[in-house]
Structure 1
Amino acid sequence: MTLPVIIGDSAKTAQALLAAESLRKAAAVRGLDVAVEVRVEGVTLNALPTAQLTDETVIVGAPDGDLPKTQRHFTIEAMLADAGACLDQLGSAESKKAFVVAVTSCPTGIAHTFMAAEGLKAGAEKLGYDIRVETQGSVGSNDTLSEDEIARADVVIVAADRQVSTDRFGGKKLFVTGTKPAIKDGAALISQALTEAKVQGAAAAPSDAAAKPQGSPGVYKHLMTGVSFMLPFVVAGGLMIALAFALGGIYAGNVDGTFANALFKIGAKAAFTLMVPALAGYIAFSIADRPGIAPGMIGGVLAAQVGAGFLGGILAGFIAGYAVKLLTKYIRLPQGLEGLKPVLILPLLGTAITGLAMIYVVGTPMAQILAALTNWLQGLRGANAWALGAILGGMMAVDMGGPVNKAAYAFSTGLLTSNIFAPMAATMAGGMVPPLALFLATRFFANRFTSAEHQSGPATALLGLSFITEGALPYVARDPLRVIPALIAGSATAGALALAFGTELRVPHGGVFVMLIPNAVSHVAAYALAILIGSAVGAIALRLTLRRQA
């Protein structure tokens, strides 16, 4: 009986060809008859007849095109390392159908969370596997994994750009990565996870080797975890203050006993007071798990008290997190006293280290840096303001949800804690433009897009209006070298105009809908005009850069 094999990966042409040759040689040694089809760069070599593509087919890598429903899958790397072992693993029995469970999450809990989930589901369907995906979005967990599902799973995939607890996956094969691999190629990620996942210890912690994201920048992920937990405080506080100003004027905070004053106190004196401690506490949580929360939050309070603001809060979070992580590693107690570590020793020593560092070492310098930054930003006029707006707006379109985009967003969000609202306006304008520019381009320059892209235009526009920049990603994926520069031009224009018009934004999310809330955005008409002009510039740039579709 001939064993059908399909090998391919558009990003690994040479490796796919070498894997095919290795497989043929290993099969010859074992007296096996194999028929190998190779799919690389849109070309199919030794195409197998359709009748031969059954559920017995072996898939190697992530070939393009339609694939048979099969449970036999290997990575190209595994085939190159030992093709004979792969053949031996197949044996003569039918392979067991894999069951995969996954958790997806991102800092804002909106676009990447659900795009990663869809990517994994599509990948599992392509491979013929069963999958259950839990999404930890902005409104909490959806489709929460049950204990039975976790117990039955062959592998657990955590595709997240912020810290996700892995405690419940003790004893399971766990693979941790970011959301982008799941969005880009869910099938390849699942195959990689099945091959490379490591078993979690019974008391798994995020610091365990098995829980370290492959190729994920740790500092960035820790920062984004802190930002994601800070966002609800920023949104609630900003909207409360905006409503207070709408009802009682800009001096609502000075008139005691009024409803507007009560709203102002809730927003400015409660929600905004907790922003920096939440940022610091959850940065520390991302690094050291739950024992890091108390030292981090206390460090954040001290940062706010000494005037170090969000910069001091970020530093306090990292100091607390890494201090507690080191203490956890090096403090050894008798088994009977281990229970004291998380509730007494780690919070006590972690808080002492963080607090003393903030008071005596880093608090004052960070306060001076923040004061200088605040004065510089408040003094920006003319060309300097345009330049800052263009930089922040353009950054939002560079990678649309990636590190550059999130860096601009985190910077602007952090400045809200220091009552600096203009950068947030430029950032949100720049983030709304890419999907809106693509929508306009699909309407006015339809010959630059495929039929499917044209039909997706209205949905993309809705995402743009909601400040979900990732709505542009399907278009970017087709031709990034032409699409991204055009979108950067549009976003930079919107950001520059937003600051040139003197607009300010008090909340870090909401898109066009936040403009309906009184005083949430200053100079609303001018802000809308900046976004419209930026979108038009982006659409025209797309007309110039994209090729005509056949």
Structure 2
Amino acid sequence: MTGVSFMLPFVVAGGLSIALSFVFGINAAEQEGSLAAALMQIGGNSAFALMVPILAGYIAFSIADRPGIAPGMIGGMLASSIGAGFLGGIIAGFLAGYITQWLKKTIKLPENLQGLMPILILPFLASLIVGLLMIYLIGPPVEGIMNGLESWLQGMTDANAVLLGLILGAMMAFDMGGPVNKAAYTFGVGLLGSEIYGPMAAIMAAGMTPPLGLALATVLFKNRFTRQEIEAGKPAWFMGISFITEGAIPFAAADPIRVIPSIMTGSAITGALSMLFGVGLRAPHGGIFVLPIPNVVTNLGFYALAIIAGTIVTAFMLRILKPKLEE
């Protein structure tokens, strides 16, 4: 998931710029020349516009090294322009990477022309192939899938919303910043551009509860943790409120059989409650620090309740599953 790691700074910078534009009102960015419009241009029209191309480009880079970047980014840009979204970008990234690798192994040039391969031949041919595939073969069906997904999300019943929140929440806690976590996060971020904010709220809340629940457990149930783990619980508070799910990793690494089910349960409940309460979040990162920004979160009180509930459930799951340590 190299692409997600490179995409994340664009998501954070763009998302927080958009969030700041909402300080002036939900529709303030429609006023040309205003500061809100400038912030929206920075975040929505620039940083977010680069999101899918960066994702695709660096997926390709992880497969084919530098020659894969150009075809990957071009494929990602095409995915955005034809409406295939982040799903199309992921496909474009893998296509670009493997096509570039295949071309590299297939094309044989004389020794004196080898220097042209990484800067001319591979990027050009791979971009051509990926571009044509995206426009004529892959783009239209993926666009249909994305449109169908958006329609389903917009018309979700409460039961469907809760189920989605449950799944996304569990995914966020499963590997704490790993591929499954990033897949859920990328899904939520991809929907922000379609003005669907519920999944992003569930995802961020569910990503906060693992460190928070563990931190709470080290306070309430000290006899379940080593002295080192109790000390690790102190910074976990800050990592939790900052939406740094990786704060749970030291605990999960020490006792994965008990910790991972506990944090998955708490995060799943948080995600489900967030969706049930109809919470929406317009910022893709920032933890509790974006919550005071006006108009960024809908149903803020219920959002806080969902996070608190998941934190408590996580702590008590740890109380149940983890045995007392011998004195």
TM-score by structure 1 length?
A: 0.57
Q: After TM superposition, list the pairs within 5 Å mapping 1:34-73 onto structure 2.
A: none
Output one character per residue of 1:476-532: Cα deviation in whole Å (capped at 9) or x when no partner: 334332222222221111111111222222333322223243333333332222111
Task: Report which of the two has the higher share of strand.
Answer: 1
2:280 alignment partner, SS class: coil
TM-superposition CA deviations, 1:381-411 (whole Å, max 9, x none)? 3121111111111122223233332332232
Provide the C-alpha distance between the structure 2 equivalents of 1:520 and 1:230, rounded to a whole number of angstroms: 22
Q: Deviations over 1:293-349 (max 9, x none)?
A: 111111112111111111111111111111111111111111222222222212221
1:201-212 to structure 2, matched below 5 A, reads: none
In 1, the alpha carbon distance for the partners of 2:16 and 2:247 equals 25
Q: What percentage of aligned pairs have identical amino acids?
A: 60
**Which residue does the alignment assign to 2:62?**
286
Please name the residue that 1:451 is paired with.
227
- Aligned pair 1:386/2:162, yes or no? yes
* CA pair 504-407 structure 1, distance change in 2 beyond 3 A: same
Aligned amino acid, residue 98 of structure 2: Y
- Structure 1 residues without counterparts, runs of 5 or longer: 1-223
Pairs aligned (count): 326
1:309-328 correspondence to structure 2 within 5 Å:
309-328=85-104
Q: Runs of 5+ in structure 2 lacking a partner?
A: none
Q: Deviations over 1:148-204 (max 9, x none)?
A: xxxxxxxxxxxxxxxxxxxxxxxxxxxxxxxxxxxxxxxxxxxxxxxxxxxxxxxxx
Partner-residue secondary structure (3-state), 1:456? helix
State the match for 2:26 in structure 1: 250
Q: Which has the higher contact order (CA 8 A, sep 6+)?
A: 2
Match of residue 174, structure 2, among 380, 398, 406: 398
After superposition, the CA RMSD in angstroms is 1.8
Describe the shift of the 1:443–1:278 C-alpha distance in structure 2 as closer, same or farther (beyond 3 A).
Answer: same
| Structure-2 change in CA distance of 1:417 and 1:439 (3 Å) | same
Is residue 234–residue 507 contact of structure 1 (8 Å, CA) maintained in 2? Answer: no
Distance 1:529 1:233 in 2: 30
Matched, 1:484 2:260: yes
Distance 1:508 1:354, change over 3 A: same
**Which residue in 1 is equivalent to 2:10?**
233
Query: Using a 3 Å threshold, how does the CA distance of structure 1 residues 463 and 228 change in structure 2: closer, same or farther?
Result: same
Aligned to 2:39, which of 248, 259, 263?
263
Is the Cα contact below 8 Å between 1:310 and 1:417 reproduced in 2?
A: no
Deviation at 1:375, TM superposition (A): 0.9
Structure 2 CA distance for aligned equivalents of residues 387 and 284 of structure 1? 33
Q: Which residue of 1 aligns with 2:302?
A: 526
1:365 deviates by 0.6
CA distance in 1, matches of 2:227, 2:14: 44
Q: Secondary structure at the match of 1:548?
A: coil
- Cα separation, 1, equivalents of 2:41 and 2:178: 35
Bigger helix fraction: 2
Q: Which has the larger radius of gyration?
A: 1
1:352 CA displacement: 1.0
The answer to whether structure 1 residue 376 and structure 2 residue 152 are counterparts is: yes
Q: Which residue does 2:210 correspond to in 1?
A: 434
Q: Distance in 2 between matches of 1:486 and 1:362?
A: 40
- Structure 1 equivalent of residue 106 of structure 2: 330
**Do the aligned partners of 1:503 and 1:522 also contact (CA within 8 Å) in 2?**
yes
- Give the 3 Å change call, closer, same or farther, for CA 245–507 of structure 1 in structure 2: closer
Instruction: From the superposition, tell whether residues 258 and 509 of structure 1 become closer, same or farther in structure 2 (CA, over 3 Å).
Output: closer
